[in-house]
Amino acid sequence: MFARFVMFTLLYCSPVLFMSNVANASSTNASEPLLENSEQLCSDGSCRPHIMMLHRQARWGDLQSAAIVAMLYITGDGVKQDIDYGVRLMTRAAKYNSPIAINALATWYRQGTYVEQDDEQADYYLQRGVDIGYAPAEYQMALRLYLENTSDSIAEANALLTKAARAGSAPAMFLLARLKLNGELIDYDLEGATALLQRLSMNGHQEARALSRQLVAELEREAKIAEQQVEVDPRLEELADALQGSLTMERIQIVGTNHWGRTESALSNVAFQRDAFFNRGGMFRIRSQECDFATNCATSRPESRHSSLFDVLSNP
């Protein structure tokens, strides 16, 4: 049976120290609202057509677009900064269960950013995010429950963290991997931790890659010790090889370039993605109704004045 030596050499710490680390994660690794602390994307005016698209989609009831427009006004990126208007727009989007808006308001009220600090409001929005199954909110709630440090709160935190990790939340996946290796707050699970670290490493998560390298070294060292024993656990080399494979896999990053005269940017990608999924009205003017194979989606009909899809979207 594979000794749990890796757990102690890599990540062992007292429960008090671990809770301190969780508290620090809660304050510094909060899931930040889209675009909030990023560099200005639209300072050169290149995003104006895409901002117009997002405005139009927001007016038709697309909550995702409304939340993005709210953040643009909050940051003053591509528009004249108007924090009050941005907060009102974000609150309106949250009223209709926009996950981004709900999580943004929970963070703002907790930190006193853009709004007056109010823990009661922060708790309200955080719980709403959990209720609708939004992974970043589940991750934040798990951190708060860990800090309560009771058997019930830890069990609930483990369930929420696992749910957020399964939904693809990178912070949740990384914390869950660490907990599985630590074996203090959740059952020790080397295979589970390895699988999580593999996924994160292949997606370029730097902390996961660093921990994976450390874990590979420990596994290889433990495998050499095991070779001297009568029974060798085959998992040692298998897990080390799996982690090493994720570290050495070549990653190809595709960067957008100018195409047919349209400026490519992070915001343009979001704008066109939202337009592709959102029902822009017509016969079915249903708030936040998105197109799928089960829904008849109305479309903008091209006319003679439209020379491209961009013209249709910009001037319906």
- Give CA–CA dist 125/256, Å, rounded: 35
Nearest to 7 by CA among 173, 184, 213: 184
CA atoms within 13 A on the CB side of 72: 26
* Mean pLDDT in consecutive groups of 10 residues from the start of the chain, 316 residues: 43 48 51 51 77 88 90 90 96 94 96 96 98 96 95 97 96 96 92 93 91 88 69 66 69 44 58 67 42 42 43 42
Is residue 47 within 8 Å of residue 78, measured between CB atoms? yes
CA 227-231-237 angle, to 5 degrees, is 50
- Give CA–CA dist 16/72, Å, rounded: 40
Is residue 93 within 8 Å of residue 82, measured between CB atoms? no
Cβ neighbors of 191 (< 8 A, separation 6 or more) are 235, 239
CA atoms within 13 A on the CB side of 314: 14
Q: What is the pTM of this model?
A: 0.70
* pLDDT in the model for residue 1: 40
Burial class for 169, CB neighbours closer than 10 Å (0-12, 13-18, 19+):
buried
At residue 99, the 3 state secondary structure works out as: helix
3-state SS track over 302-316:
CCCCCCCHHHHHHCC
Nearest to 195 by CA among 182, 208, 206: 208
* pLDDT in the model for residue 309: 42
- Read off the tokens for 5: 């030596």
